[in-house]
Amino acid sequence: MTQTIFIDGAVGTTGLEIADRLSGRGEFNMVSLPEAQRKDLAARREAINDSDFVILCLPDDAAREAVALIDNDRTRVIDASTAHRTAEGWVYGFAEFREGQRERIANARFVSNPGCYPTGFLALIAPLIANGLLPTDWPYVLNAVSGYSGGGKALIERFEAEPDLGFRGYGLNLDHKHMPEMKIHGGLSHDVIFAPSVIRAFRGMLVDIPLHLGAIGSVTADQLLDALSSFYAGSKIVSVQSGSGLSELLISEKDAPTDRLELFVCGNAGGYHARLIARLDNLGKGASGAAVQNLNIMAGLDETAGLQL
């Protein structure tokens, strides 16, 4: 049976990439509004309530407003904003990071898409904490670099208008909006020390967690690698490999879209220093690809359908 989908915020970067992944999918019928009605409250209300699924690609306040417009008990929602990532009654839309999460998504009415940085962080940390290899009360540090598309329209315009702008460090007040998401879904006792930055590449992301394993306990980098490899074994989206022999990890200005998530475990000769690194497309598994994956799961379809792998 064909199911109807409305993307509220379809003209933004995330919305456009979701629509591209859904293009030609016979399982879905896309509901759209003419440009003149795109911000009309009554038109949005009608489109939302007439749809089986709604994907919100909106600023946080607008996403909350959209949810408040629902006046039925059947429309299911995937929210790509930050608004509901730690909200009661919402299921966190990261199928791989925790046992049973895929089933929770499948049965949910309201699903919150993970943030791009937390996707990399939680993919690395959550399974290791669940296995007892890493503690919940450690002061984790996260260094990360992203393509500038992650900053939305304003940052995209800035990078394209300023050809000499090559690197932007931000979040210097140590109060980034992704921090509660990482702490809560990681089950951590402390906030993550988060140091994000942006480079002159449209898409792509490296998420890097340095660990002094000798201070944490007796665990080694090889044990972390083995645990992650076992946890993600068989995944069509997440891959794990050793950083042994790697001299560098790259993001290119011309990287193609991808919905893959690559995890690396790099350790020193003694195995007691490690860097856990995730490489992903901030617009793919970090946003649009994750939304389509969640939609597939909720609709009872192959979760990789339409993904760019």
How far apart are the C-alpha atoms of 18 and 1, rounded to whole Å? 21
How far apart are the C-alpha atoms of 55 and 291, rounded to whole Å? 8
- Please state the separation of Cα 93 from the chain's center in Å: 9
Token pair 């995944």 in the structure block, residue: 235
E strand or H helix at 274 = strand 273-280
- Return phi, psi of residue 53, to 5°: -130, 140
**Beta pairing partners, 197:** 145, 169
- With beta carbons less than 8 A apart as the criterion, state whether 117 and 207 touch: yes
Q: How many CB atoms lie within 10 A of CB 64?
A: 16
Number of residues written out for the chain: 309
How far is CA 207 from each of CA 41, 160, 242, rounded to the nearest angstrom? Answer: 38, 24, 16
H helix and E strand count, the chain:
10, 13
How far is CA 63 from each of CA 89, 163, 297, rounded to the nearest angstrom? Answer: 15, 33, 22
**Exposed/middle/buried for 252, CB within 10 Å: 0-12, 13-18, 19+?**
exposed
- With beta carbons less than 8 A apart as the criterion, state whether 285 and 215 touch: no
Q: Token pair of 117, please?
A: 């940085």
**40 CB contacts (<8 Å, ≥6 apart)?**
33
Residues labelled catalytic: 116
- Return phi, psi of residue 104, to 5°: -65, -40
